[in-house]
């Protein structure tokens, strides 16, 4: 359910087996009123004020059994606009990923795609 | 209160493309806020040489805040001057900084701001912008002033600006602070306030720079711009396709803007009688609209036709006023009902603007409703049954059923981002490559595809169960859920149709900014004027009322009324 719905779990949800258990923390990142935990027995991941914290063993490819829990305690969200320090390698990878959505430039698209080029000044 | 106009009427592109500024527009709201907060504006730094190269700082202080516009002047060869996103050099570049600037800030900004998209600013910066001189006016004004003469007034009116911004980037762009950083601040607690402040200060920079160059060239015999001509100079802007995706990607904001304007119109229409002040204010607004038309120039056939319509509509409204339509019961509603059958779309939307104009005390509070927390409705609620989704689809998206997407002309276009400086572009799906990478602005087509899959799924299923089988509909279902509380959040036209006019989307957004004199240069970019006739910083607090948009210098004598 959590993989296809952004609705928060009703406090505690037990699932299994689940592939890619780390992904189940994603809805929690958008929830600034609660702390989310995804626990796969040998380890867990928890939302923090500016991301996630992984504890214990890294997440397995497939977790036989896991628990998603949402605490009622408010987490004080760090304003997103202060989170500007992006790791340079991660940034380069993200830019490369975004670049896969860009359409190659051509003379024709340059001319017609955004308006005639010969009257772009006055 | 009289019901608001229906989204089916308001949200058509042909009507959105006839939008006019109103007193709720952001430029006007900003200047009212600056006046209310008794803001002080000064220019603590001016280091510009005889070629216009150097740096300057304009500082605005009030309401316990301080913002600084840092301006860099450049010596741009004519052949490099272009308004396109793909340009790489400009006559001037700017950043609006949160707070005072130090020399270290200036050096940091000097290394980045002139590069624009290729540079990087910090979360102390709120706006990144650039502008080009008007080739038609700049040299003329410098030459005249340096010889001790004033520029030709008709030329000033016809062009209307010395500099034209070609991008005004805000919220999180290129490292700048997110809009969320400004939430709750007195002057900036609303959409695009920081951008509007930057543009208003850029106007001062352009006027100061032209006088500075004239003085450097002409020496003691140089003149300064007369106060009257100075006021008649606004800031130009060239706007391309980038604004169109914004409107589609922010349905919550679009809804808030349209809802505010439509509520204002409904409040005015609901008034039982008209008073003398509102009738006089309306007549003044109508007369000045007539004068405004004389300096609204375009060569685009569609806009030429609209201006002809507007001229005739103003005459019709004038005659109706003389016949006493505002003297009877619910006069504004009577005028509106008459207009629906007597005026063109362009005339009707102009009427919205001038009907709202004299009713500031009735409508100005709506400004506070024009922001939107779009994240609050971002989450998909997977527990909702499909019956509810289908009923929402019927309520908000029935208009999509009339479009046959099997027809080539219904999906002739595709929106994309070019690898050339990420310029937003519009392509011809059946003629050029790239459609596989199209941006998801094909709302009506996505709804149509969703409806097909929904029809084959039992009503008892939940959205979560449906999405498990059809994850590709995730985006459009989120959008439909958002529409529950946003009746005006969707443009009710096919945005990939062969006959789409992107300029209609651009004009809608620009009207909410407060732009005037829309001048399409093609179907996908246009020029506009901002802050024409607005007060300069040294005139702000002497302004008697918020009526600068209506002032037309001495030409006002030519008003019809």
Q: What is the pLDDT of residue B172?
A: 87
CB contact under 8 A, A7 and B134: no
Tokens of A52: 């996630």
Report the residue of B432, B473, B520 to disrupt the A interface, i.e. the one with the largest count of A CBs within 10 Å: B432
Q: What is the pLDDT of residue B183?
A: 86
Give ∠ CA B23-B25-B27 in degrees, rounded to 5.
105
Q: What is the pLDDT of residue A121?
A: 62
CB contact under 8 A, A103 and B434: yes
Query: Among candidates B292, B349, B269, which has minimal Cα distance to B317?
Result: B349
Q: Bigger pLDDT: A77 or B146?
A: B146
Tokens of B126: 């709120």
* Separation in Å, CA of B55 to nearest CA in chain A: 24
Q: Bigger pLDDT: B379 or A117?
A: B379
Q: How confident is the model at residue A120 (pLDDT cuts 50, 70, 90)?
A: low
pLDDT per residue, tens digit, chain B (561 aa), is 999 999 999 999 999 999 999 999 999 999 999 999 999 999 999 999 999 999 999 999 999 999 999 999 999 998 898 888 888 999 999 999 999 999 999 999 999 999 999 999 999 999 999 999 999 999 999 999 999 999 999 999 989 999 999 999 998 899 999 888 888 899 998 999 999 999 999 999 999 999 999 999 999 999 999 999 999 999 999 889 989 999 999 999 999 999 999 999 999 999 999 999 999 999 999 999 999 998 899 999 999 999 999 999 999 999 999 999 999 999 999 999 999 999 999 999 999 999 999 999 999 999 999 999 888 888 899 999 999 999 999 999 999 999 999 999 999 999 999 999 899 999 999 999 999 999 999 999 999 999 999 999 988 899 999 999 999 999 999 999 999 999 999 999 999 999 999 999 999 999 999 999 999 999 999 999 999 999 999 999 988 777 788 775 444 433 332
The distance between the two most distant Cα atoms of chain A, rounded to a whole number of Å, is 67
Q: In sequence order, which residues have a C-beta less than 8 Å from that of residue B108 and are 6 or more positions away?
A: B122
CB contact under 8 A, A120 and B463: no
* Separation in Å, CA of B319 to nearest CA in chain A: 39
B244 CB neighbours in chain A (<8 A) are none
Q: Is the pLDDT of residue A71 over 80?
A: no
Q: Which residue of B has its CA nearest to A99?
A: B419
What single DSSP character describes residue B488? T
A122 CB neighbours in chain B (<8 A) are 134-136, 159, 164, 527
Give ∠ CA B299-B304-B309 in degrees, rounded to 5.
170
Prediction ipTM score:
0.86
* Whether the bond into A17 is cis, omega within 30 of 0: yes
Q: Which residue of A has its CA nearest to B437?
A: A101
Give ∠ CA B517-B518-B520 in degrees, rounded to 5.
140
Hey, which residues 36-55 in chain A have their CB within 8 Å of chain B?
Answer: none
What value does the mean pLDDT of chain A take?
76
CB atoms within 10 A of CB A121: 20
Is this model's pTM higher than 0.95 or not? no
Q: Is the pLDDT of residue A2 over 50?
A: no
Q: Bigger pLDDT: A12 or B51?
A: B51
- A102 interfacial to chain B (CB closer than 8 Å): yes
CB contact under 8 A, B419 and A81: no
Q: Which residue of A has its CA nearest to B502?
A: A114
pLDDT digits (tens, 9 = 90+) for A54-69: 888 888 888 888 888 8
- A85 interfacial to chain B (CB closer than 8 Å): no
- A10 interfacial to chain B (CB closer than 8 Å): no
Report the residue of A1, A2, A5 to disrupt the B interface, i.e. the one with the largest count of B CBs within 10 Å: A5
* Separation in Å, CA of A100 to nearest CA in chain B: 8
- A88 interfacial to chain B (CB closer than 8 Å): no
- Decide: residue A72, CB within 10 A, 0-12 exposed, 13-18 middle, 19+ buried: exposed
CB contact under 8 A, B416 and A4: no
Q: What is the pLDDT of residue B555?
A: 47
Query: Among candidates B343, B259, B338, B297, which has minimal Cα distance to B18?
Result: B343
CB atoms within 10 A of CB B44: 11
Q: How many CB pairs under 8 A join A and B?
A: 129
Q: What is the pLDDT of residue A19?
A: 85
CB contact under 8 A, B425 and A113: yes
* Separation in Å, CA of A30 to nearest CA in chain B: 8
**3-state class (DSSP) for residue A76:** coil
Alpha-carbon span B30 to B32, nearest angstrom: 5
* Separation in Å, CA of A5 to nearest CA in chain B: 5
**H-assigned helices in B357-473:** 360-363, 386-397, 443-455, 463-469
A7 CB neighbours in chain B (<8 A) are 379-383, 464
């Amino acid at each position: 359910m959590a993989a296809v719905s952004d609705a928060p779990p009703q406090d505690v949800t037990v699932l299994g087996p689940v592939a890619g258990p780390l992904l189940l923390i994603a809805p929690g990142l958008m929830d600034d009123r609660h702390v989310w935990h995804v626990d796969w027995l040998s380890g867990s991941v928890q939302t923090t004020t500016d991301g996630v914290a992984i504890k214990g063993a890294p997440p397995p490819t497939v977790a036989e059994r896991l628990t998603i829990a949402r605490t009622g305690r408010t987490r004080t969200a760090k304003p997103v606009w202060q989170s500007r320090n992006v790791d340079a390698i991660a940034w380069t990878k993200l830019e490369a990923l975004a670049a896969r959505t860009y359409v190659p430039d051509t003379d024709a698209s340059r001319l017609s795609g955004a308006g005639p080029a010969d009257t772009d000044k006055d | 209160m009289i019901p608001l106009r229906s989204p089916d009427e308001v949200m058509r592109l042909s009507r959105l493309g006839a939008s006019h500024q109103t007193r709720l527009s952001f430029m006007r709201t900003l200047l009212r806020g600056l006046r209310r907060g008794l803001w002080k504006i000064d220019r603590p730094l001016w280091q510009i040489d005889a070629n216009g190269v150097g740096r300057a700082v304009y500082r605005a202080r009030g309401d316990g805040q301080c913002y600084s516009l840092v301006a860099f002047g450049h010596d741009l060869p004519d052949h490099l001057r272009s308004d396109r996103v793909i340009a790489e050099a400009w006559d001037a570049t700017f950043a609006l900084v949160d707070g005072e600037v130090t020399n270290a800030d200036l050096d940091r900004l000097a290394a980045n701001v002139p590069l624009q998209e290729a540079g990087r600013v910090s979360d102390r910066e709120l706006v990144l912008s650039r502008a080009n001189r008007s080739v038609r006016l700049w040299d003329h004004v410098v030459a005249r002033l340096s010889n001790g003469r004033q520029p030709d007034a008709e030329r000033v009116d016809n062009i209307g600006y010395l500099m034209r911004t070609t991008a005004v980037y805000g919220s999180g762009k290129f490292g700048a602070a997110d809009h969320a950083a400004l939430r709750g601040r007195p002057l900036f607690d609303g959409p695009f306030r920081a951008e509007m402040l930057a543009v208003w200060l850029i106007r001062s920079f352009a006027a100061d720079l032209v006088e500075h160059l004239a003085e450097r060239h002409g020496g003691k015999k140089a003149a300064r711009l007369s106060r009257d001509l100075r006021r008649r100079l606004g800031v130009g802007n060239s706007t391309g396709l980038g604004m169109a995706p914004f409107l589609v990607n922010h349905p919550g904001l679009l809804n808030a803007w349209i809802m505010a304007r439509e509520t204002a119109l409904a409040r005015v229409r609901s008034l039982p009688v008209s008073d003398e002040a509102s009738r006089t204010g309306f007549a003044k607004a109508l007369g000045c609209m007539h004068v405004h038309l004389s300096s609204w120039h375009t060569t685009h056939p569609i806009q030429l036709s609209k201006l002809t319509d507007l001229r005739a509509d103003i005459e019709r409204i004038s005659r109706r006023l003389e016949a006493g339509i505002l003297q009877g019961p619910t006069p504004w509603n009577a005028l509106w009902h008459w207009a629906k059958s007597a005026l063109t779309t362009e005339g009707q939307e102009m009427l919205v603007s001038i009907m709202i104009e004299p009713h500031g005390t009735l409508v100005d509070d709506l400004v506070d409703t024009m922001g939107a927390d779009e994240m609050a409705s971002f989450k998909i609620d997977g527990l909702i049954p499909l019956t509810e989704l289908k009923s929402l689809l019927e309520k908000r998206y029935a208009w999509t059923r009339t479009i046959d997407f099997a027809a080539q002309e219904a999906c002739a276009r595709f929106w994309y981002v070019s690898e050339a400086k990420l310029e937003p572009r519009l392509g011809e799906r059946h003629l050029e490559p790239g459609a596989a990478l199209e941006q998801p602005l094909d709302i009506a087509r996505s709804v149509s595809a969703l409806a097909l899959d929904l029809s084959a799924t039992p009503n008892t299923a939940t959205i979560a169960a449906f999405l498990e089988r059809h994850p590709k509909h995730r985006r459009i279902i989120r959008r439909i859920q958002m529409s529950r509380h946003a009746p005006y959040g969707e443009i009710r036209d096919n945005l990939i149709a062969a006959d789409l006019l992107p300029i209609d989307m651009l004009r809608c957004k620009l009207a909410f900014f407060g732009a005037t004199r829309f001048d399409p240069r093609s179907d996908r970019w246009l020029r506009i004027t901002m802050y024409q006739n607005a007060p300069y910083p040294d005139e702000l607090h002497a302004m008697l009322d918020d009526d600068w948009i209506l002032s037309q210098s001495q030409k006002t004598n030519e008003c019809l009324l």
